[in-house]
Amino acid sequence: MPTTLDGLEDIVATHSRICDLDGQLGKLSYYGVDIHDLAKFSSFEETAYLLWNGVLPTQTQLEDLRARLCAQRALPAQVLELMHLLPKTTTPMDVLRTAVSTLSAFDGHLDDTSAEANHRRAERLTAVMPTIVTSWEHIRHGREPIAPLSEHDHATNFLYMLTGQVPDEYTAHVLNVALVLHADHELNASTFAARVTAATLADMYAAIASAVGTLSGPLHGGANEQVIRMLLRIGEVANAEAYIEGALSRKERIMGFGHRVYRTEDPRAGFLRGMSKELGQRSGENKWFEMSQIVERVVKERKGLYVNVDFYSASVYYTMGIPIDLDTPIFACSRVAGWTAHVLEQYAHNRLIRPRAEYEGPKNVPYTPIDERN
Ligand SMILES: CC(=O)SCCNC(=O)CCNC(=O)[C@H](O)C(C)(C)COP(=O)(O)OP(=O)(O)OC[C@H]1O[C@@H](n2cnc3c(N)ncnc32)[C@H](O)[C@@H]1OP(=O)(O)O
Ligand SMILES: O=C([O-])CC(=O)C(=O)O
């Protein structure tokens, strides 16, 4: 039986000014700005600025940030060369973790640990991660990566690098909203991992590599990919109810449901549900949304569980034609804004993070010489 110690449930482990999360009321804000307003009115770049600076930017500050992000999208040639050497079967999340780690070798000023230098690293990592993800999509299929655009917003450039075409406004808008919604979420597992790494005064690349690795697991960011794999296994709307009933009776976890903090609807879910529906209608392929609705109803009725951010993002990305195993890397391309904001906050008020374990093992065990053991 899990105890409250397992998983540090409800343990307050640090102070933070970044993300305010109320799991009972289903409320979420970044530096006090409600996620609903950010989803409706903001852009990923503006949200990243807010996370890094604690206030919304002026027009000039936003334009300057956009220009700096655009200018830093290209990957060092050696990182691309290294990616060409990896087995083509390497998962995009493993490639992302490896490439992020490698970027430290090209920093050139790792000895500069000033807040300004780390702020620049936060921008650089955010600018370049979409290039890693989309380049790998081409490299693994034997194609040359598509160079980033030197203009256009983050979401548009991501889709351009993926497909070679500047997307229509609606598609870019959907990705932009998804990036805003995923950008931060208090002390989730990957952000905690980033902060633990940063608290040893390891560099920002090490902290973000820790975070990418932590996000990849199916109980965290990796769930979005598992959601669409489940929908594909269900196959048809008519199969959805029986499939979920069967899975629950076998005590399987349904990916995209449940959350450590929310005890009500996740405030991000409504936006993703709405975009899943609209994308389905626009593309003429409604079935993933319809199937998702049935899964949502049955899991809610049988288990009382709500969807989390990973559930509807899965059908959103699938309907946009995004390869399934890029779902979690896209999450990472957004969450890097939050990870780096937390790392900056950790460096600014640092103390080593080192909890204790309640010892439950044997005590006073005599050392038996090896030839006397059986
Ligand atoms: C961006 C994100 O990281 S959002 C989360 C993404 N992860 C997923 O979608 C994976 C599916 N969900 C889960 O595994 C969990 O809900 C988690 C990991 C997100 C949170 O888990 P915890 O807070 O540790 O809850 P815990 O694992 O203790 O589950 C509590 C109970 O709910 C059940 N439960 C929780 N989630 C689910 C689920 N998705 N499907 C079926 N049952 C579930 C558990 O089986 C358990 O039931 P029991 O008490 O009868 O044994
Ligand atoms: O907060 C969590 O535990 C999981 C997470 O990252 C999110 O919901 O965005």
Specify if 41 maps to a domain: yes
| Ligand 2 neighbourhood includes 210 CB (under 6 angstroms) | no
Q: Structurally, how many domains does the chain consist of?
A: 2
Q: Tell me, what's the pLDDT at 95?
A: 98
- Record the tokens describing residue 364, joined without a space: 């006073």
- Pick from 154, 164, 198: which is nearest to 348 by CA? 198
- Find the ligand nearest to 255 CA: 1
Shared domain for 184 and 283, answered yes or no, is: no
Q: Tell me, what's the pLDDT at 6?
A: 86
Residues 6+ apart with CB under 8 A from 247: 254
Specify if 292 maps to a domain: yes
- Measure 256 CA to ligand 1 centroid, in angstroms: 9
State the burial class of residue 301 (Cβ atoms within 10 Å of its Cβ: 0-12, 13-18, 19+): exposed
Catalytic residue among 153, 184, 203, 310: 310
- Domain encompassing residue 314: 223-319
- The per-residue DSSP string of 315-373 comes to HHHHHTT--GGGHHHHHHHHHHHHHHHHHHHHHHT-----------S--S-----GGG-
- The per-residue DSSP string of 193-217 comes to HHHHHHHTT--HHHHHHHHHHHHTS
Residues 6+ apart with CB under 8 A from 186: 16, 18, 19, 20, 21, 261
Distance CA 64, CA 255 (A): 40
Q: How many CB atoms within 10 Å of residue 265?
A: 14
* Residue corresponding to tokens 């906050």: 345
- Find the ligand nearest to 217 CA: 1
Shared domain for 87 and 135, answered yes or no, is: yes
Distance CA 232, CA 113 (A): 47
Shared domain for 194 and 281, answered yes or no, is: no
How confident is the prediction along the chain (374 residues), in pLDDT tens digits per residue? Answer: 566 678 999 999 999 999 999 999 999 999 999 999 999 999 999 999 999 999 999 999 999 999 999 999 999 999 999 999 999 999 999 999 999 999 999 999 999 999 999 999 999 999 999 999 999 999 999 999 999 999 999 999 999 999 999 999 999 999 999 999 999 999 999 999 999 999 999 999 999 999 999 999 999 999 999 999 999 999 999 999 999 999 999 999 999 999 999 999 999 999 999 999 999 999 999 999 999 999 999 999 999 999 999 999 999 999 999 999 999 999 999 999 999 999 999 999 999 999 999 999 999 999 999 999 98
Shared domain for 130 and 264, answered yes or no, is: no
Give the HSE-up count for residue 80: Cα atoms under 13 Å, Cβ half-sphere: 17
Distance CA 248, CA 297 (A): 13
Is 28 strand, coil or helix?
A: strand
CATH code: domain of residue 117: 1.10.580.10
| Ligand 2 neighbourhood includes 194 CB (under 6 angstroms) | no
Shared domain for 247 and 125, answered yes or no, is: no
Q: Tell me, what's the pLDDT at 3?
A: 66
Shared domain for 83 and 105, answered yes or no, is: yes
- Measure 167 CA to ligand 2 centroid, in angstroms: 29
| Ligand 1 neighbourhood includes 194 CB (under 6 angstroms) | no
Give catalytic status of residue 310 as yes or no.
yes
Whether this model's ipTM surpasses 0.90 comes out as: yes
Mutation probe of ligand 2 site: the residue of 212, 309, 334 with most atoms within 8 A of C-beta: 309
Whether the model clears a pTM of 0.80, i.e. scores above it, the answer is yes
| Ligand 1 neighbourhood includes 257 CB (under 6 angstroms) | yes
| Ligand 1 neighbourhood includes 258 CB (under 6 angstroms) | yes
Q: Tell me, what's the pLDDT at 1?
A: 59
Shared domain for 62 and 98, answered yes or no, is: yes
Mutation probe of ligand 1 site: the residue of 253, 268, 328 with most atoms within 8 A of C-beta: 253
Residues 6+ apart with CB under 8 A from 300: 306
Specify if 65 maps to a domain: yes
- Tell the residue nearest (CA) to atom 19 of ligand 1: 259
Shared domain for 88 and 184, answered yes or no, is: yes
| Ligand 2 neighbourhood includes 268 CB (under 6 angstroms) | no
Shared domain for 65 and 166, answered yes or no, is: yes
- Measure 220 CA to ligand 2 centroid, in angstroms: 7
- Measure 219 CA to ligand 2 centroid, in angstroms: 10
Specify if 324 maps to a domain: no
Catalytic residue among 259, 266, 327, 342: 259
Shared domain for 156 and 293, answered yes or no, is: no
Is 240 strand, coil or helix?
A: helix
| Ligand 2 neighbourhood includes 185 CB (under 6 angstroms) | yes
* Residue corresponding to tokens 């600025």: 49
- Tell the residue nearest (CA) to atom 42 of ligand 1: 253
Mutation probe of ligand 1 site: the residue of 5, 215, 259 with most atoms within 8 A of C-beta: 259
